[in-house]
Amino acid sequence: MKIYFISLGCDKNKVDSEKILDFFIRKFNAKITYEIEKADVCFINSCAFISDAKKETIDVIKEIFEKKKKNAKVVLLGCLAKEYKINKNFTHIDLDKYVDEIMPVDKYLNELNELTNRINDVRFFSKSIKISDGCNKNCTYCIIPKLRGKFTSNTFDNIYMEAINLAKSGAVELNIVGQDVLNYGVDIYKKNKIVDLLNLLSEIKGIKWIRLLYCYPEEITDDLISLIKNNKKILHYIDMPIQHIDNDILKSMNRATNEINIREKIKKLRSEINDIIIRTTFMVGFPNETDTKFNKLLDFISDIKFDKVGCFKYSREVLSDSYYFENQIDEETKEFRKKQLLDLQKEIVISKNESKINKVYDVLIEGYDREKKCYIGRNYENAYDIDDLIYIKTKRNLLSGSIEKIKIVDFKDYDLIGEIYEN
């Protein structure tokens, strides 16, 4: 059996994709092909968070149906598959075969084998590990709880065994992901266990970096800050989705925080960990976002000067509570605000990058870019497949997965340019 597999959307989808691929490789001796025309089964692990993500999935499905063999099967997985099942009117395209879940993924959490180069676009030395699924937050713009269900933690034993196997297969970096990472354990252990889990994972031989993604600001505790500060394997990096800073908007979004608390949390992180990298995400064009409220968001970004910022336009989803809100914002205004926000952030990033020239960082080497004739890598400031890269020109042969001392000598917009640091 030859399988073509494409994984769209977030890191949580990528984790599921790896497990599904591993299952078919082991159970059916399946082979991976990167050519649709040669596949017996084409899998699409989909995203349905916003309309742009749905459109991307549908475009992929159309391409597959245009190129696939006559008898090849097409399997839709992930969030769009679940929305298709929930919303009876959602009929973008007829699928040859529709499956919501191809297998009980949890059953195979502790049975992962080496995947290395068998899986497209997954570098063996940087792996994501999903410690929970589902969400109880019920933000009014979000349909994830309806698609993924209630917040559910994976067990200590399953996560630990998966991490052990990833380390054995060559993983150097673990990215901790989930819909609500910092609430880990409250459902199955009746108390928050994220600090205990991170301490346990940091003991695994071979794992050098542990990175935290998707951390709600209201759940960042003093114990967590202390752990990040003092545990050498926990990177000084935190992904903290904020979405907005205007209190009326935050309340309308059903976010469990406000401007004062957000500012205090950022101040605490930066005072305790002076080199902390804070990544966040903002939404523009939410219903009732006036020019005044949007400008307040721009002022906040100018004031805080985040290290990394993502931005997306509010998407009016039928399954979301905010679909029925009044004062919806037109698409032209959303696009204009997104551009303003990203232009502002680019100025901030360029200023920060200027300050990094002549600094020396530990850099995880990811490979060699033949076109640019240089190595590429990331330091602690940059998450795999999300953030920026460091380009390194050297005559030395650098091993992918190794960590090298790199001196920054220049930058180009978001990306840094470095050279081997000689003591």
What is the reported pLDDT for 30? 78
**Radius of gyration for the alpha carbons in the chain, expressed in angstroms and rounded:** 22
Give the whole-angstrom CA distance, residue 52 versus residue 256: 26
Q: 21-25: long-range contacts at Cβ-Cβ below 8 A with a sequence spacing of 24 or more?
A: 21/115, 21/118, 21/119, 22/108, 22/111, 22/112, 22/113, 22/115, 23/102, 23/103, 23/108, 25/113, 25/115, 25/118
For the cut 80, the answer to whether the pLDDT of residue 419 exceeds it is yes
Q: List all residues 6 or more positions away from 305 whose beta carbon is below 8 Å from its beta carbon.
A: 348, 351, 352
CB 221 within 8 A of CB 186: no
Name the region of 163 (left: φ>0; alpha: ψ -120 to 50; beta: rest): alpha
All CATH 3.40.50.12160 domain ranges in the chain, comma separated: 2-105
31-32 β-sheet, strand order: 31-32, 2-7, 41-46, 73-78, 97-98
Please give the CATH number for the structural domain made up of 126-354. 3.80.30.20
Q: Is the pTM of this model over 0.95?
A: no
Lowest-pLDDT choice from 144-153, 272-281, 295-304, 362-371: 144-153
Q: List all residues 6 or more positions away from 6 whose beta carbon is below 8 Å from its beta carbon.
A: 43, 44, 45, 60
Give the whole-angstrom CA distance, residue 213 versus residue 210: 10
For the cut 50, the answer to whether the pLDDT of residue 61 exceeds it is yes
Decide which of 159 and 319 is more confident.
159
Please give the CATH number for the structural domain made up of 2-105. 3.40.50.12160
Look at strands 403-412 and 390-392 and give their pairing.
unpaired
Nearest to 366, CA basis, from 344, 393, 335, 399: 399
Give the whole-angstrom CA distance, residue 401 versus residue 261: 39
What is the reported pLDDT for 242? 96
What is the reported pLDDT for 370? 83
What is the three-class DSSP state of 305? coil
Which residue is associated with the tokens 């679940």? 82
pLDDT single digits (tens) 188-218: 999 999 999 999 999 999 999 999 999 999 9
CB 381 within 8 A of CB 387: yes
Please give the CATH number for the structural domain made up of 360-420. 2.40.50.140
All CATH 3.80.30.20 domain ranges in the chain, comma separated: 126-354
Rounded to an integer, the average pLDDT of 150-164 is: 93
Decide which of 208 and 170 is more confident.
208
- Confidence grade of residue 112 (pLDDT, cut at 50, 70, 90): very low
CB 204 within 8 A of CB 248: no
pLDDT single digits (tens) 360-406: 999 999 888 888 889 999 999 999 888 999 999 998 988 888 999 99
